[in-house]
Amino acid sequence: MPVPADATGPSSEDWLAARTRYRRLSTGSLLGGVAGLLTADAAGFPLVAVGVYWLGVVGFFAVRRAAPMTLFDERDCALERRASYDALRVVGGALIVGAPAAAALEQTGRLTVPPVVDGALFGVATTFGVFGLAYLARRYA
């Protein structure tokens, strides 16, 4: 049953609809920026692509700042925490298996690892290193 509006504010249905609208607007702004980046870059306009992307990012933060309510709550934080944990497990497992396997196969001459793969492995390993340092800083600070 909907909560009636009173002198202090809108009904809970109005609040939920507004929150959903602001969330969609902020997410749409960000996704529009990414789509514009990909489209303009594919069309051969790299500077326009970056500009459109940044407009989407600025729009995302502007909507979040201008919204009269909090767009994300503890349920969203818990969902992000679980998704981050799952992603860390999958990518970490792939790194633990993939990096030594690539090095061993390259040393035996069975595989030539492209430089882009070396760079990607280094980037992922660096990300895990930064995560570990941030974890230790939060844990023991």
Question: pLDDT 10s per residue in the chain (141 long)?
Answer: 444 455 455 566 788 888 899 999 999 999 999 999 999 999 999 999 999 999 999 999 999 999 988 888 899 999 999 999 999 999 999 999 999 999 999 999 998 999 999 999 999 999 999 999 999 999 998
On whether both 86 and 61 belong to a single domain, the answer is no
Q: Answer whether residue 5 is part of any domain.
A: no
Q: What is the pTM of this model?
A: 0.65
Could you tell me which residues are beta bridge partners of residue 74? none
Q: Answer whether residue 7 is part of any domain.
A: no
Overall domain count for the chain: 2
Chain centre to alpha carbon of residue 42: 22
- Phi, psi (degrees; rounded to nearest 5) at 6: -130, -170
On whether both 61 and 91 belong to a single domain, the answer is no
Angstrom distance (rounded) from CA 122 to CA 120: 5
Token readout for 58 is 């600025």
Run of H or E including 35: helix 12-42
On whether both 81 and 104 belong to a single domain, the answer is yes
Q: Answer whether residue 79 is part of any domain.
A: yes
The total of other beta-carbon atoms located within 10 Å of residue 62's CB is: 13
Structural domain including 87 reads 74-140
Kindly compute the dihedral angle of the four CA atoms of residues 88, 91, 97, 103, in this order, to the nearest 10 degrees.
Answer: -120
